[in-house]
Amino acid sequence: MQGVILEADEPERLYAFATYVATLVARGEPVAVFVTGRAVKAFSRQGYAGPDLPESMDWRRILADAKELGEVKIYICETVAKAYGVSEFWLADGVGSMFSFLENVNSVVVF
């Protein structure tokens, strides 16, 4: 399984991340995502206040579509979530540790 660590919250990086995940899924590859750092806020159900991108670069739609198309599991870093006081997440499959995440992936790309 391909692993992706997402720590950035800049809209362009979120778009690149979502496009990368969607491309892997379109190729038939399962993907596990570990969301940490500032990116945790981007996955918060309370909302994300980042700048808007053009509709064609809607990273949330791209990621949601990828999840419907193939196997994409998204895990939120428990330590960062606690530090930010965030407990409800959009599109996440669970909250966990980096250790557990790395046990289940073959290689990792960082965004």
Instruction: Look up residue 55 and give its DSSP letter.
Output: G
Q: How is the beta sheet containing 31-35 ordered, strand by strand?
A: 94-96, 72-77, 31-35, 2-6, 107-110
pLDDT tens for 48-103 read 656 677 888 899 999 999 999 999 999 999 999 999 999 999 999 999 999 999 99
For CA atoms 82, 106, 74, 20, the dihedral sign is positive
pLDDT tens for 27-47 read 999 999 999 999 999 999 876
State pTM to two decimals: 0.93
